[in-house]
Amino acid sequence: MFDLPLRSRIPAELVERFKALGFTKYEALAYLTLVVSGPLTASELSNEAGIPHSRVNDTIASLERRGFVEVNIGERKVFVALPPNIAFSRLINEVELLRDKVEDYQKGYVKEEKPFILHLRRTTDFPTFIDEILKRTSHEITIVLPDGAEHLLDVLSKNSAIDYITVVVVSKRPVSFSYTINYVVEDPGDNVLILSDAKNVLMMPYISYKYGGRTKVLGFYTNYKEVSWYVYSYIRKLAETAKDVRIHRTYTPKFACLFNAISFYKNASKRRVRAIIRRTTNGEIRTIIGDIISVQENFVNNITIKTEEGEEYVIGGLFSVVEDWEVLTVEFL
């Protein structure tokens, strides 16, 4: 046996990778301890893995359901880790089976008609498209501005709807505008991108502004979910590289994109929220009020909200497939 408990030798990175796959910290510690130590009793596992003795049985039960641990009952009940090549092959098989079932479900689904995808032909069309987007915006508009295109914000400032929604700007330099969040990034790219409540998207190449004299713009305005998801993911990646995050305005900000809400929470130190959430299994809609008590940032952002009644909700971002609840709006109070 080691002089020190095994938990002191377990790399934190391994635990975090387990958590990113939906395992709890105790489940990760239990499996990693057992896979190295061999069979252990509940007391031994508690000591070696640093898991409270009262949590050992439910942790092991969860790992047993996942196919990572077996329980041998004899004179003493001992826990045994399945070899990684077996345990993870089961997990891979479950994921592949779920993928196949989702694909079958997708094939049988009657898709909604996608009402519009429009072509932005001239730079002079920009105000018209912006006005149309703002009419369809209830909560939040996110704008990626190439270097030198900050003057486009003047178009936004002339629309009265801008006073009632959250504005998020991704730019190379801090911009002078009444926004709520400004992500200052090294390279925002060459395209103007506008994401409205993660439902409507305006995209236009910046080349006409760079070289001047051109009136035609190869751009479009669309509500295709696939394009919305692409732009949402791209903006989120940009935001993660921000070297500076500036918070402005003190009014009640509303977010449709959870990663923007998390940035506001971290930088403005506000935790009280009203959230409209949707159950991913049956589409049930709820409105809850409470405090953000934890944030998990990995390949899927999520937050935990604790209500006044003591209920806790783990809420995922747009198109959530991991959590039981998907956020529609997070409003800071």
Position 163 pLDDT exceeds 90: no
Which residues, including other chains, have CB under 8 Å from residue 183's CB and lie 6 or more apart? 168, 169, 170, 171, 238, 239, 242, 244, 245, 263
Pair 89, 168 in one domain: no
Look at the pTM and tell me if it is higher than 0.75: no
Pair 121, 99 in one domain: no
CA distance 199 to 82: 44
Pair 313, 214 in one domain: no
Pair 302, 284 in one domain: yes
Number of domains in the chain: 3
Position 233 pLDDT exceeds 60: yes
Between 152 and 192, name the one with better pLDDT.
Answer: 192
CA distance 194 to 232: 10
| Residue corresponding to tokens 């508009």 | 141
Supply the pLDDT for residue 315.
92
Name the DSSP letter for residue 161.
G
Query: Do the domain assignments include residue 165?
Result: yes
Between 93 and 61, name the one with better pLDDT.
Answer: 61
Q: How many CB atoms lie within 10 A of CB 179?
A: 22
Pair 126, 238 in one domain: yes
Report the pLDDT averaged over residues 318-323: 74
Best CA proximity match to 21, nearest among 106, 80, 87: 87
Supply the pLDDT for residue 45.
92
Supply the pLDDT for residue 1.
42
pLDDT digits (tens, 9 = 90+) for 288-319: 999 999 998 766 688 999 998 999 999 988 77
Supply the pLDDT for residue 171.
94
